[in-house]
Structure 1
Amino acid sequence: MKRKTVFGLLLLSCTALVAGVVVLEKTSSYPASSQVNPQAPAQTRQVIEIAAPPEKVWQLLSQVNHWSAWQPDIQSPRLNGPLQVGTSFDWHTGGLRIHSTLHTVEPLTRLGWSGAAFGSFAVHNWTLTPLPNGHTRVRVDEGMEGWLVQLLRPVFQRGLDSSIALWLNRLQQAAEKP
């Protein structure tokens, strides 16, 4: 085959791929929900006990603009209004810009949001439970879906599991500081 023909086929293939991705991004819609979809291709539930009262854990978790102080994998978090249901926030992690919207705000107890990023949509829920010893049980439930998550399910599952474990570990370190 001639070089021009190979180049032309490569260019045509790349153009078709880009067009396909654009169509998928424009036509994908995700239902607004505060619940993790039990059919989501990637999902996790993780729990940790933090040796700090719920007030301290809530303070760290609910101050979105300061997440990067204890979670350095997050850059430029910005809450676009008061901490209440319906308020959006923007943040960067893993090279992606994520636009999320709060769906649950129950001070000292529950915080949840959902958001979309290229080829994916996630529902993320945090539940804080006070324990008799003054500690806090923190449970995180997250589900991810979308065409890219479906296509690369094992990659997204591993990334989700390790990301949430890291969030919990760093939240614990920050909350347990004297």
Structure 2
Amino acid sequence: MKPINSSAPVKAKKSIVIHADIERVWNILTHINKWSAWNADISISKMNGQIQVGQTFDWKTGGTTLHSNIHTCNPNTQFGWTGKVFGVYAIHNWILSETANGTKVTVEESMEGILAKLFRKSFQQTLENGMANWLESLKKECEKKTG
């Protein structure tokens, strides 16, 4: 997995336990074309091929259109991508692990570049709020009763 930049001006890490098996969490998390169906922060998400290292996807969140490149895709354990927009370079990682009562999901991200430095406080707050919302939305979607 490509590590986040620990010296970047903006970085965050959050975790949640989801009461669902790891395969279900993985399948929902990596089905990029369906992100907008369960994550209100994402208006568009489109995978440009198969979920695999080196593949790209395009998505829109918070009014910003992003083009991201998958750097890690280890089924049921690790998923991550990089992206650059307006001179801000981000590294984003998801780590999944089984627990006694479901799946622990950890998300981490770093952002670097001139805008990340200039607007560090604002970017930091936006990143932390976005991560919390994404984790809560993922939990809600994964814990839905099926069948």
For Structure 1 versus Structure 2, the TM-score category normalised by the shorter chain is over 0.9
TM-score (norm 2): 0.96
- The structure where helix makes up a greater share of residues is 1
- Aligned CA RMSD, in angstroms, stands at 1.0
Larger RCO, structure (CA 8 Å, separation 6 or more): 2
Q: In structure 1, the residue corresponding to 2:97 is in which secondary structure?
A: strand
* 2:44 and 2:61 in contact (8 A); partners too: no
1:40-55 equivalences under 5 Å are: 40-55=8-23
Deviations 1:46-77 (A, max 9, x none): 01000111111111101000000110211221
Count matched residues: 145
1:108-123 equivalences under 5 Å are: 108-123=76-91
Residue 118 of structure 1 deviates from its aligned partner by 1.3
> Unpaired runs of 5+ in structure 1?
1-32
1:94-113 equivalences under 5 Å are: 94-113=62-81
Residue 132 of structure 1 deviates from its aligned partner by 2.5
Deviations 1:6-64 (A, max 9, x none): xxxxxxxxxxxxxxxxxxxxxxxxxxx82100111010010100011111111110100
Percent identity reads 44
TM-score (norm 1): 0.79
Query: Which of the numbers 7, 12, 24 marks the counterpart of 1:56?
Result: 24
* 1:68 and 1:76 in contact (8 A); partners too: yes
> Unpaired runs of 5+ in structure 2?
none
Whole-angstrom distance in 2 between the partners of 1:37 and 1:97: 22
